[in-house]
Amino acid sequence: MLERFNAALDDVERALAAGEPVDVAALARRASTSEHHFRRTFSSLAGMPVGEYVRRRRMTLAAGDVLARTASLLDVAVRHGYSSTEAFSRAFRAVHGVGAGEARRLRPPLVSQPRVSFHLTVEGSSSMDYRVVDKDAFTVAGRRARVPVVHLGRNSAIEEFARGVGPDVRERLAALSDQEPHGVLSVTDGLDGRRAEGSEVDYWVAAVTSREVPADLEALEVPGGSWLVLTSERGPYPENLQHLWRSAYGEWFPANPWRTRPGPELLRADLHEDGTAVGELWLPVEPVAG
C-alpha cells in the first residue's frame, strides 16, 4: 500500500512542477483507495493534512523561483498556478511569513517543506494486538463539544472539556455502557475531509449503548459495520495511546486488505497512578475490494 501512496506523492510533484492544481480524489485513485482513507492515512503519518502539505510544497518550489530573480513575480505567480501577484504573495506570506516581493528584495529566512515519502518500519514499535469485529448498529451517548483539530501536541480544548464532565455524569455513562467497547470512552466524529489544523471535530465523553438515552445526554446513531480494534501494551501516557494511530496507518493497514470508512473513532483508555495507560482504539473499516 505504501508504494502506491508514494506513487501518488510523485503525482503531486509532477502537478506542482507544471503549475497545476492537485486533485486529492485523483491521488486516492492512484493509491487504489478511498479519498477518506487516503486523507486519514496521510494526516496520521505525515502529521499534517494533505492539502496543507501541497500548499507548503508549492510555496517551497515557488521560493526558489522568487529568489532566482530570473522572471517577474507575475510570471512566477502564473507558473505556480496563481492569476495575480496579489494572490500569490498572500499564499507566499502564509507559508514563509513574508510577501514574495519582500523575499526577493531582502532574502530573509524562508521555510522549506521537504518531500514526504512513506516507508514501513517496525523498529522500536510496541507489540500490538488487534481484532476485526462486526458490530450491529449502536448508539454513542454522552456529552459533546466542538473542538479544534490539533495535529501535534496537546489539545487544550479537549482537556478542558473532559475536565468539565463531572464524576456523576461519568458514573451514569458507565452504567449505560452495555457492549464493547465497554466503559467511558473518548469519541471523535464529524471531522471534515480536509482535516486541516484548526478545523473542528466533535469530541465526546461517551458510552456505547443499546439502551434509551436520557434526555439530558446527546446521542449519535452509528450504523452497523466492521471495526478494527487495536490494543496497546501498558506504557507512558499519552505517548503509547498516540502511537496506536501511527501503528494502525503505518503498520497494520499496509499489511492487511482493509481501509477506513467514515464514522466515529472510539478510544478506551485505562489510566494508572504511575502515569502509564493501556489503550484500545476502535476504527471503522471496510474490506478493500479485490
* Percent of all residues in the chain with a pLDDT value above 70, rounded to a whole number: 92
Residue that has been written with the C-alpha cell 510577501 in this structure: 99
Burial of 183 (0-12, 13-18, 19+ CB in 10 A): middle
* Percent of all residues in the chain with a pLDDT value above 90, rounded to a whole number: 64
Closest CA to 26 of 18, 37, 17, 34: 34
Pairing of strands 200-209, 138-148: antiparallel
Position 30 confidence tier, pLDDT thresholds 50, 70, 90: very high
Q: Is the pLDDT of residue 236 over 80?
A: no
pLDDT for the residue 127: 47
Lowest mean pLDDT across 84-88, 104-108, 163-167, 230-234: 230-234
Q: Is the pLDDT of residue 24 over 90?
A: yes
Query: pTM of the full predicted structure?
Result: 0.75
pLDDT for the residue 152: 59
Give the mean pLDDT of 128-144.
Answer: 90
> In whole numbers, what is the pLDDT of the chain averaged over residues?
88
- Domains, the chain, in order of start with CATH, read 2-106 (1.10.10.60), 128-287 (3.20.80.10)
pLDDT for the residue 123: 44
Contact 58, 79 (CB under 8 A): no
Q: Is the pLDDT of residue 62 over 60?
A: yes
